[in-house]
Structures are given as C-alpha cells and as structure tokens.
Amino acid sequence: MIFREKSIKRSFAHIHCMLGRNRLIFIYVMIIPLVIFFFEVHANARGNLPFHEGEKITFQARWGLIPAGESILEVLPSKIVKGVPAYHFSMITETNRYIDLIYKVRERQDSYVDTNLTHTLLYTKQSEGKHPRNVVVNIDWERKTASYNNFGEEMNPVSILPGTFDPLSLIYVIRLHALAEGTVITIPVTDGKTCIPAKAEISRRESIIVSGKQYDAVLVESDLEVLDKDGDGSNLKIWFTADDRKVPIRMQFKRHVIEFTFDIVAKEE
C-alpha cells in the first residue's frame, strides 16, 4: 500500500514536471514569436519613415550670393510631452557677423509631435535680433485650441483644425507624403496666433546642383505669409530628394523683403 502511494506521488510529480516543461515550451512557442514580431514591426516602422532619431542636416545660408550663416535641422531624442511620447524636431539658425550688421538672426525652433505623426503637441521659438522672441505655443487638444505666449504675455487661444502642425514640423510632415508632381497637399498649420490650411504644392521635378553635387529633386512650395499678422510671415520653398528619404537639400525662406537660401552641406545619421 505504501509502495502504491509512493508510486502515485512519483506519477503526479512526473506529470507536474511534464506540465512544467510543457508550460515553458508553451511560453517559448507563444511569447517568443510575439516578441520577435514586436521588434520586427518596430524596426519596419522606423525603416519606413523617411527620417529617424539622430538625423542631422547642416545647411549653409546665403543672402543672394553672399554667405549669410548656418542652419541645423535635427531629429533629437524623443520626449514625453504632456504625458504623450513625442518626436522632437529642432532648427537652429544663425547669421554670420557680416549679415548681423544688416539683419541679425539667432533663432531656435523646437517642435514636439506625437509619435504617430498626427499632430503637434508643443512648439517653441526663441530668437534674438531686431524682433526678439521667447515664444511658447501650447496646444490643447481637448479644447482644440492653440495659445501663443511671448515673454509671458499670452494671447487669446485660437481654434485649430484636426491634425494641426506647427511651421517647423511641416518640413517633416511633407516628407511623409508621396511627392507626385502637380499634386497639392493640404496641412493645417498654427503658430499660435492663427490656424490655416497650408497648401504645399509639388511644383515640379528637376535636376539641381547644390553645394557642388547634382540631385534629382522635387520642388515643394508653400505660402505661409498669412500666418504672422505682425508681418513676419514667410514664403517657403523646399527641394527634396526624389527618393524614399525625401531629404531637404535646399530651402528658401522669405522674411519681409529678405530671402535666405539654405543649401545642404552635411548630413549625419
């Protein structure tokens, strides 16, 4: 009888051991593919985007034929903004000492966009020079409003459209689209003072030489002049490479009567 009880216990122990091994096998069979799937999806999503964290593009600025300074466009490490994971885009622009005598620019823009790339969460701009600014544009998606704050003075909120972006993130959002010649992309844009459905027109595909290198490029034009009611609006022209990366290789900004051209001179990944 005792022998039989021991035999039964050994049988149960054996069954328990087998179940334990089977449980581990089940975990490996079911969980590991899910983990692999997750990383593959994450990698594919990153690979399918035309830009990624760490991309840094340096431009040489000129005013007509005169060297004017430098601008750096960068995708910085992601951040949590208002509890939401966000891409962090930045653009730093500085004129050189010669242009400073005429039109000094020391400007930094920062844009924070949700990682699904559907709308802006926060936009800031600091600048020195003739029109110094310390701007924070807070986006309230529950109320669907944007609030412009400059040196602590806040304007009344303005209503925004679904899927609204800021002027800086517009450069990256355009890269998400198929840039077919003759098409027009409409993207709501706000600077905190107003919100407009900005139109980006894919004007033409052409071969251009930038910084001594020839590119197959697509020209995109957008009229943002109505954004700033104080007269600091801008017309924007960007030449993107005609490939999957759609790298901006030349940008032209018009401020007041002054037009700056930014040509790519370096790109880091």
Spell out the domain ranges in the chain. 1-48, 49-268
pLDDT at 3 over 50: no
pLDDT, one tens digit per residue, over 187-196 is 999 999 999 9
User: Stretch 202-230: mean pLDDT, rounded?
Assistant: 85
pLDDT at 129 (0 to 100):
78
Q: What percent of the chain has pLDDT over 70?
A: 77
Nearest to 233 by CA among 174, 187, 190, 201: 190
Q: If residue 240 lies in a helix (H) or strand (E), which one and from where to where?
A: strand 234-241
Three-state SS for 65-117 is CEEEEEEEEEEEEEEEECCEEEEEEEEEEEECHHHHHHHCEEEEEEEEEECCC
Confidence band of 15 (pLDDT split at 50, 70, 90)? very low
- State both tokens at 137: 């544009």
Selected residue with higher pLDDT from 164 and 228: 164
pLDDT at 29 over 90: no
pLDDT, one tens digit per residue, over 135-164 is 999 999 999 999 999 999 999 999 999 999
Measured distance CA(251)–CA(173) in Å, rounded: 15
pTM of the model: 0.79
